Each structure stands twice: as C-alpha cells, then as structure tokens.
Homo-oligomer: A and B are copies of this chain.
Amino acid sequence: MTTFSKILSKTDTSKALSVPTKYLKYSLPSFNGGHAVSFQAMDESGFVWTFKCSTRKIGHPKPVLSKGWLAFVRNKKLKVGDKIKFSVLDPTAAVPSYGVQAEKVQAEKVQAEKVQEEKVQAEKVQAEKVQAEKVQAENVQAEKVQEEKVQAEKVQAEKVQEEKVQAEKVQAEKVQAEKEVKIFGAIFGYSPITAPSIP
C-alpha cells in the first residue's frame, strides 16, 4: 500500500486529516517508538509543506495529520468533498519520497468565488505562509532571490530551461487554470519525534 486517497470529511477540513492505519504503517516514516513524526513534503508547485503525523498514545492509534494540515487546507482552499491522494513516488529511495494530490470538486463554483475569496483570504493565507516552518520560510526567501537570477538568465537559456522547469511550469499552470489543485512532490527530510512531543 504505497498510496491512499480519500474524500475530505468535515473533520478533515476543519480539524485534522485522519490517516488510514495501513498507510501509516507501510508508507510513512517510522515513528521510532514515538507517537508522532514531522515530515516535509513538496507540492507540485514545489512549495515545501511540513506536516506532523501523530497517533494516540493510548487505545487504538487513529493516526492523523495535525500540525500543518489546516494551513495546507486553507492555502489550497480545500473543502468537504474534495479529494486528496498520497502516494510513494520512489519506494527504493533511502529517504522516502511521497506524492500527494488534491483534486477539487465544484471547479466552476470555486472559480467564481476565486476573485472575491482571494482578496478576503489573502491576508490569512499570507500570514500562514510567514508562520510556516523555518524550512518553508527559507525556501520562499531563497527562491525570491533565485527567481531573479533564473528570470534574468532565462531569456537566453530558454531552450534548456524549456525542457524541464518550463515544461513543468506550463503543466502546473494548466492545472491551475483547470482549477485543480494537483500537488505532488518528494519528502526530502523528516525528523522523528520521540516521547512527549517536539514543536
């Protein structure tokens, strides 16, 4: 079981994403005796998200994605009925490599709401981004500088750039246009959390 899909429930979008125990067991990084792991995942647009997957300490595990999940939901504007999908991209890699897709329903409605909603929620979303994990914050800062270089050199290096980054970008934009929030990417780091908990 290297993948799992689910339709978001109300709890999923308002509290935490409940995760199938099987998926947790086979595909998420080891808990190493702890009750939670933090891991970072990159969405299709390359943005790094940090989630914490935690289980109950007593009784049956009931794993959920807690910290980081709601920020993700809000950023992607996911609603009840939207579908998300986690998958392991490269089962052979030393560091696990996951993918996750989110597919919105009611695309037209969302499209219509977009203009208004974007303005209303802009500050919230922005605030969340800033408050995001250190790694995420650094990435953003990072790429702002990087962006300038890439952009500058892009003009005369289009041929090469086209092949990968550009191609992926076009694809990503296309997806955006269709109002699907498809995301996938690779985890490139995770920190096991032992006993009580770590921020």
Contacts and interface: CB of A to CB of B under 8 A. Distances in A.
A188 B139 CA distance: 11
A46 B118 CA distance: 27
A189 B188 contact: yes
Nearest to A145: B45
Contacts of A193: 94
Interface in A119-163: 119, 122-123, 125-127, 129-130, 134-135, 137-147, 150, 153-154, 156-157, 160-161, 163
Contact of A45 (B47, B95, B123, B141): B141
Contacts of A144: 46, 143, 147, 150, 165, 169
Interface string A158-199: 001101110011001100100000000110111111000010
Tell me the interface secondary structure of chain A in the complex: helix
A138 B42 contact: yes
A93 interface: yes
A40 interface: yes
A134 to B, nearest CB: 6
A96 to B, nearest CB: 10
17 contacts: A42-B138, A42-B142, A43-B142, A46-B144, A48-B142, A93-B198, A119-B156, A126-B157, A126-B161, A127-B157, A129-B150, A130-B163, A135-B186, A140-B150, A144-B165, A145-B176, A189-B189
Interface of A: 38, 40, 42-43, 45-48, 93-95, 118-119, 122-123, 125-127, 129-130, 134-135, 137-147, 150, 153-154, 156-157, 160-161, 163-165, 168-169, 172-173, 176, 185-186, 188-193, 198
